[in-house]
Structure 1
Amino acid sequence: MANDEPSVGSSGGNPTVAALICAAGAGARTGFAEPKQYRDLGGGQPMLTETARVFLAHPRIAHLRIVIGEGQLGRYEEAIAPLRGSRKLGPPATGGATRQASVRAGLAALAGTPPDIVLIHDAARPFASAALIERAIEAAAATGGATPGAPVTDTICFVTDTGARGETLDRARARLLQTPQAFRYAELVAAHERAAAEGRDDFTDDGALFAWAGHEVAMFDGEARNVKLTTPDQFDDALLRRAGAAFLAQGDLRTGSGFDVHAFGPGDHVMLGGVRVPHEFGLVGHSDADVALHALTDAILGALADGDIGAHFPPSDPAWKGAASDQFMADAVRRVRAAGGAVAHLDLTIIGESPKIGPHREAIRTRIAEIAGMPLGRVAVKATTTERLGFAGRREGLAALASATIRLPFREGFEP
């Protein structure tokens, strides 16, 4: 992804992707005094904050819009305050009386810079994973419209008019429909416009509307943990513990370190952590010379025991001349995920007399979290000087030191 404002238009071979989060409901079924999307899930973070963070952190999501209810702007502003550093988050759209009307309002909000693919997600599903979002994008790109479905493990039956047990359903053919549902943007907009023109306002999910409009809706694997929080008992601590069980089960804990140096040269800015920072000099390098992302990339590759940045992106290759370094780090993260693992924590120290990092710290943290597809709370960014000693003290360049902690599943034959 480019380091300037994300584009949501066509990008040729790689489809641009936007996401809509539906957060306009009153949450009446929970019995809470406030809409459930603003209820604290623990640690002082509302559910909407956690849901939005997952999408903002995904490297393939270029833009996010949240659809809120009438009169909810104040609560919304409080919820998204920790996310304001993200350039992906656009202003909220105001929803309607039904979910269908709210989605249509969100789609209209994207019309100025229409994406190729749009993901529609419920604010009440805060446990969706980066892998689920990736599957949604790939399914929509391949088929035009797709919805996630989780296998049914309980026995399901109909209920008779008298309230007695009726016919038992074949659960092997049943799926629990989830979000994010994913579609080609233009086709979903056309389906919504047709439904509005014909007075159909009773669709409770976009897959049903898309199918009604004549499109085939593909299915892809959902996730058991991707539950929709609807009733009060679902907000208890046990559910939150279960949501993290898959992550904690990855018991092979590894750490890696990375270090990088670049000299100052002509220019009016430096790239640090994927953020353009104004400066009287630039940094010299084959790529964009982002010392922060280079150090982080090496730290992740080191934890994975998979070479270093030069092995995967050699400076002798003209393909990487002037390249944005976010793609190097994103590739390292992809390698961790391909091994069945996850990046658990990133710690970065930027070393130099100038520029001052403090004013840019949160933007750098946010951008690194976006590239890595991880929560902001798992990214640390610090800065220090060398007390005017050495090349950094003489303002000849910048250095960065990074560490990465990753979790991998234990492999057969490996003794923990």
Structure 2
Amino acid sequence: MSEEIRWAVIIVAAGKGERAGGAGPKQFRMLAGRTVLARSVQALAAGCKGAPILCVIGEGDHAAYGAALGPDAERSPLLPPVPGGSTRQGSVLRGLQSLATARMRPSHVLVHDAARPFASPELITRVMDATLRTGAAIPGAPLADTVKRVGPNGLVRDTPPRTELRAIQTPQGFAFDSLLAAHEKAFASGRADLTDDAAVLEAAGLPVEIVDGDLENVKLTRPEDFSAAEARLSLALETRVGFGYDVHAFGPGDHVMLGGVAIPHGRGLAAHSDGDVALHAITDAIFGALGDGDIGSHFSPTDMRWKGASSDLFLRYAVERAKSRGGRIDHLDVTLICEAPKIGPHREAMRARIAEICSVPLGRVGVKATTSEELGFTGRREGIAAHAVATMRLPAEPDA
């Protein structure tokens, strides 16, 4: 591919997706720990490396868009989103017009539906290669079922030969100027019934090449599509276990924070933040399962922003890091080591608080306590220590 060829990606995410059920547009719904839109952005970023990605979203969906992408917005080459039109055709036109005014106007563009989160790099490469040959290429999958053409009276008109038919998918690839001109021509003529971009090009009398589609590249349309996608993704998860440890010495104060609960005590814990050893240990356990550093690498103890900070902030951040990678926390287990205060009376409150912070069921949280039989610094009542284990499932990563 020559250096002067510049690709851009448009992801159409302006629909309401009402047939999919659930609350809100389907592209913002969770799918195995990540939103459908986040998965589609990731797929296109992986298949068309380095290309800027422009999402076309519904009017008033900016907050939902930002929440749906989360940390992915930082890792992907995303352009600011633009509002779409009342139809898919109108939304794509607005995306093309936005790219046309960009500083790096692309020579080629991929257009993809946000509701197709399973586009593989191999499929994307096939589409891109064919686009460079002919100027327009779309993926199509052969039909397994016989298709009938039906009249308004409900009677069969005819049976088109199945070998001539394809179920069309996205992403679809085009020479940018040709697609923009075809869309503007369709708009000027009042055509608004074209359901994909290949049809827009066909209406302009331009050729479109078909490449092999991918049966795995399904479009999420109905509730059962989401159920099948959840089941499919659950098979691709691997179990990870992370371990965390933290300790803080006693200092001045009249309470200690443990497991997100303020427990009355004759001394406090000396720390840069609130010194909650239980939440710190759990946070590090989650980072450990992710292979994502430790609490100090994310929240430096020399950074004054975290002076006196509530430790639930750190734990929520770790949980969001796990979610952004499609992780599912299966169990959290923490053991506190101290002679005092007594943990038993506060155990259930701590479990409930940890479950709330991590958005997991209460039954997936364990809190235990023990003494060190008056041995060591905890036995001398100089401080409190905590051990934690986090068990989660995470999408399997290819071996390096």
Q: Please, what TM-score do these two structures have when normalized by structure 1?
A: 0.56
Note the C-alpha offset of 1:164.
Answer: 4.0
Code of the residue aligned with 2:89 in structure 1: it is Q
**2:195 aligned counterpart, secondary structure:** coil
Q: Which residue of 2 is the match for residue 30 of structure 1? A: 20
Contact 2:32 2:233 in 1 (8 A): no
Equivalent of 1:192, from 140, 159, 183? Answer: 183
Give matches, 1:51-66, under 5 Å.
51-58=40-47, 60-66=49-55
The CA RMSD over aligned residues, in Å, is 3.2
Structure 1: give runs of 5+ residues left out of the alignment: 1-10, 249-345, 350-355, 361-374, 380-403, 409-416
Relative distance call for 1:191 and 1:244 in structure 2 (3 A) is: farther
| Matches of 2:232 and 2:4, distance apart in 1 | 35
Equivalent of 2:131, from 126, 131, 140? Answer: 140
| Matches of 1:57 and 1:98, distance apart in 2 | 28
Contact 2:47 2:120 in 1 (8 A): no
Note the C-alpha offset of 1:59.
Answer: 5.0
How big is each residue's C-alpha offset from its partner over 1:14-59, in whole Å with a ceiling of 9 and x where there is no partner?
521111000001112223331111111122x111111111112335
Relative distance call for 1:359 and 1:121 in structure 2 (3 A) is: farther
Equivalent of 2:64, from 75, 94, 106? Answer: 75
Relative distance call for 1:61 and 1:145 in structure 2 (3 A) is: farther
Q: Does 1:40 align with 2:23?
A: no
Q: Which residue of 2 is the match for residue 377 of structure 1? A: 325
| Matches of 1:200 and 1:160, distance apart in 2 | 23
Contact 2:124 2:171 in 1 (8 A): yes
Equivalent of 2:79, from 69, 87, 90? Answer: 90
Contact 2:32 2:326 in 1 (8 A): no
Give matches, 1:159-198, under 5 Å.
159-198=150-189
Note the C-alpha offset of 1:357.
Answer: 6.9
| Matches of 1:146 and 1:156, distance apart in 2 | 24
Relative distance call for 1:378 and 1:25 in structure 2 (3 A) is: closer
Note the C-alpha offset of 1:359.
Answer: 8.6
Relative distance call for 1:15 and 1:161 in structure 2 (3 A) is: same
Note the C-alpha offset of 1:86.
Answer: 2.4
Note the C-alpha offset of 1:170.
Answer: 1.4
Code of the residue aligned with 2:23 in structure 1: it is A
Note the C-alpha offset of 1:191.
Answer: 1.1
Give matches, 1:271-286, under 5 Å.
none
| Matches of 1:105 and 1:405, distance apart in 2 | 36
Q: Does 1:115 align with 2:63?
A: no
Contact 1:56 1:86 in 2 (8 A): no
Equivalent of 2:122, from 116, 124, 131? Answer: 131
Code of the residue aligned with 1:100 in structure 2: it is Q
Relative distance call for 1:226 and 1:77 in structure 2 (3 A) is: same
Q: Which residue of 2 is the match for residue 4 of structure 1? A: none
| Matches of 1:51 and 1:405, distance apart in 2 | 17
Relative distance call for 1:23 and 1:87 in structure 2 (3 A) is: closer
Note the C-alpha offset of 1:13.
Answer: 4.0
Contact 2:42 2:76 in 1 (8 A): no
**2:16 aligned counterpart, secondary structure:** coil
Q: Does 1:241 align with 2:236?
A: no
Relative distance call for 1:406 and 1:72 in structure 2 (3 A) is: closer
Decide which structure has the larger Cα Rg and report it: 2
Relative distance call for 1:93 and 1:405 in structure 2 (3 A) is: closer
Relative distance call for 1:101 and 1:378 in structure 2 (3 A) is: closer
Note the C-alpha offset of 1:99.
Answer: 0.7
* Equivalent pairs, count: 256
Q: Which residue of 1 is the match for residue 210 of structure 2? A: 219
Contact 1:15 1:141 in 2 (8 A): no
Q: Which residue of 2 is the match for residue 105 of structure 1? A: 94
Note the C-alpha offset of 1:196.
Answer: 1.8
How big is each residue's C-alpha offset from its partner over 1:369-407, in whole Å with a ceiling of 9 and x where there is no partner?
xxxxxx98399xxxxxxxxxxxxxxxxxxxxxxxx9747
Structure 2: give runs of 5+ residues left out of the alignment: 238-289, 301-322, 328-395
**1:84 aligned counterpart, secondary structure:** helix
Relative distance call for 1:61 and 1:215 in structure 2 (3 A) is: farther
Code of the residue aligned with 2:132 in structure 1: it is A
| Matches of 2:21 and 2:398, distance apart in 1 | 40
| Matches of 1:160 and 1:28, distance apart in 2 | 27
Code of the residue aligned with 2:90 in structure 1: it is A
How big is each residue's C-alpha offset from its partner over 1:244-263, in whole Å with a ceiling of 9 and x where there is no partner?
87x79xxxxxxxxxxxxxxx
Code of the residue aligned with 2:152 in structure 1: it is D
Code of the residue aligned with 1:40 in structure 2: it is M
**1:146 aligned counterpart, secondary structure:** strand
**2:11 aligned counterpart, secondary structure:** strand
How big is each residue's C-alpha offset from its partner over 1:323-369, in whole Å with a ceiling of 9 and x where there is no partner?
xxxxxxxxxxxxxxxxxxxxxxx9799xxxxxx97599xxxxxxxxx
Q: Which residue of 2 is the match for residue 229 of structure 1? A: 220
Contact 2:47 2:122 in 1 (8 A): no
Contact 1:17 1:60 in 2 (8 A): no
| Matches of 1:179 and 1:127, distance apart in 2 | 10
| Matches of 2:153 and 2:206, distance apart in 1 | 37
Contact 2:31 2:229 in 1 (8 A): no
| Matches of 1:202 and 1:140, distance apart in 2 | 24
Contact 2:71 2:324 in 1 (8 A): no
| Matches of 2:111 and 2:210, distance apart in 1 | 15
Contact 2:70 2:324 in 1 (8 A): no
